[in-house]
Structure 1
Amino acid sequence: MTEPSYLTAVRESYNTVATAYTERVPPPAELDPLSRAMLAAFAELVRTADRGPVADLGCGPGKVTAHLAQRGVRAFGIDLSPKMVELAREAYPGLRFAVGSMTALDIENDHLGGILAYYSTHHTPPELLPVVFGEFHRTLAPGGHLMLCGYVGDNERLRPTRAYGDHPVSFESHLLPPHHLAGLLTQTGFALTAQLTQSPAEGRKRTVACFLARKPA
């Protein structure tokens, strides 16, 4: 089966920028208070429910995966970029990282206690988000928790040519309204439990939305 072109673009782009990305993106401990609070809430939810391991999908260099592990979460990371996975393994040799795509996860049904998709779904074309959210729902155990966080907008389509230290990239970003993402999650079968929208501030150039959702038991 031929790989969708957007996945190829994302993989190649993040392989190119991986080192610069790792240097520029702050660890979770340096995020703004609300972002830290949402991650802390997610960590407590999955740790308390204890339904299974937690997958950090689109984990990049593993900083957030490690942050969850430090809070007692059985976390592992998956990323489309082999270079990102290589850097994550070097930085956190005690954690598990693998190359993979959230469009077709190599994970059994109902296996995960939690999924974190942290700034990792906005490169997905809107028409394919139901596929991604369907994989989230398939692999989560009943009673498992999802945290989805990323940039949002008024159906904006961004096509940068350079990023993270002026390196060439070919990915696109799709910034959808928060209510659209919330609707897709509920249509997939998730029960939304919390939503936080943050206006541009704290050094961010764009609006961010975070969702906590649960797969009904």
Structure 2
Amino acid sequence: MGNMSTSRFSPSELTAILDTFDTLPGVPEVRARTYDLLPPDGLVADVGCGAGRAVVELAARGVRAVGVDLDERMVGLARERFPGGDFRVGDACALPFGDGELRGYRADKVLHDLAEPERALAEARRVLAPGGRAVLTGQDWDVLVIDSDDGELTRRIVRARADLVPSPRAARAFRALLLDAGFGEVAVEVRTVVLAEPGVEAFLARVAEAARAAGAVTDAEAEGWTAEQQERARRGRAFAAIPLFVASATR
């Protein structure tokens, strides 16, 4: 999960969060689409590899993949989970590859966590060979759709959660960022993940808690909003949707 600040979570906690998200309805299909957009030959780097799922799934497709993550703990956990996988510690803005060494570059849920995402894409262009492909995916944190009786409070909660991210609107800027970095053949797709299954209320409770901790809503507001979502879930009426942006481009 990118060069994300993981200090709030232990590796096992973060892995549980990632695994939960990665198995939500629709998410595996988005992940597979990112694989389809990568070249089938040559070395491919999964930047911000987290616990290593994408590296293993790419390898199962016959792709020579290497995972890179800034967090040594996550790299260690990825090596434990997937022995034999190639995982390295590295920064998205200073990758451990030579000029033109890669044929493919993948960054999933990474750019929003960087204060200067343009630096990561300049680095992506450096390490890609001519004709290589870059594939980005992530959510726009300002666009989290949640059904609630209190629209104004929901907007405040979503905005406050977005403000905790260094570059919350990076995903909507994927196209411009890639073009500015010198890439061509830029294309952007949007896939929407719908959360209406049991358990969505736990995700929404974490969103509300983040807004409360940031001081954007009061304890009473957070508790009341969370209680509403729990009641909705009890009645099978909880609903949230997350648009995921997938961008691809050629070096």
> Smaller-chain TM-score range?
0.7 to 0.9
Instruction: Summarize the alignment of residues 48-87 of structure 1 with structure 2, pairs less than 5 Å apart.
Output: 48=40, 50=41, 52-87=42-77
Structure 2 residue aligned with 1:129: 117
**Amino-acid identity (%):** 30
Deviation at residue 210 of structure 1 after TM alignment:
1.0
Aligned counterpart for 1:198 among listed residues 188, 191, 216 = 191
TM-score, length of structure 1 as denominator length: 0.75
Moved over 6 A (4+): none
Quote the RMSD (CA, aligned, Å).
Answer: 2.7
| SS of corresponding position for 1:149 | strand
Deviation at residue 121 of structure 1 after TM alignment:
1.6
Contact 2:139-2:245 at 8 Å conserved across structures: yes
Deviation at residue 200 of structure 1 after TM alignment:
5.4
Structure 2 residue aligned with 1:100: 90
Q: Count the aligned residue pairs.
A: 189
Structure 2 residue aligned with 1:115: 105
Structure 2 residue aligned with 1:12: 7
Deviation at residue 118 of structure 1 after TM alignment:
0.5
Q: Which runs of 5+ in 2 are unaligned?
A: 144-158, 201-239
1:214 aligns with 2:250: yes
Deviation at residue 101 of structure 1 after TM alignment:
0.4
Contact 2:136-2:174 at 8 Å conserved across structures: no
Q: Which runs of 5+ in 1 are unaligned?
A: 1-6, 160-171
Q: In the superposition, relative to structure 1, how do residues 173 and 136 fare at CA in structure 2: closer, same or farther (>3 Å)?
A: same
Contact 1:182-1:192 at 8 Å conserved across structures: no
Structure 1 residue aligned with 2:181: 188
Amino acid in structure 2 at the alignment position of 1:24: I
What do residues 90-132 of structure 1 show as CA deviations (whole Å, max 9, x unaligned)? 011111111110111121011101011011121111xx22211
Q: In the superposition, relative to structure 1, how do residues 18 and 30 fare at CA in structure 2: closer, same or farther (>3 Å)?
A: same
TM-score, length of structure 2 as denominator length: 0.66
Question: CA separation in 2, counterparts of 1:29 and 1:133?
Answer: 24
Aligned counterpart for 2:81 among listed residues 61, 69, 91 = 91
Aligned counterpart for 2:23 among listed residues 13, 19, 30 = 30
| SS of corresponding position for 1:212 | strand
Structure with bigger gyration radius: 2
Question: CA separation in 2, counterparts of 1:84 and 1:115?
Answer: 19
Q: In the superposition, relative to structure 1, how do residues 20 and 179 fare at CA in structure 2: closer, same or farther (>3 Å)?
A: closer
1:158 aligns with 2:151: no
Deviation at residue 177 of structure 1 after TM alignment:
6.1
What do residues 35-68 of structure 1 show as CA deviations (whole Å, max 9, x unaligned)? 44444344345444x2x21101000010111111
Q: In the superposition, relative to structure 1, how do residues 208 and 42 fare at CA in structure 2: closer, same or farther (>3 Å)?
A: closer
Q: In the superposition, relative to structure 1, how do residues 80 and 205 fare at CA in structure 2: closer, same or farther (>3 Å)?
A: farther
Question: CA separation in 2, counterparts of 1:86 and 1:96?
Answer: 11
Contact 2:139-2:171 at 8 Å conserved across structures: no
Structure 2 residue aligned with 1:40: 32
What do residues 153-197 of structure 1 show as CA deviations (whole Å, max 9, x unaligned)? 4596432xxxxxxxxxxxx34221655221111111112443122
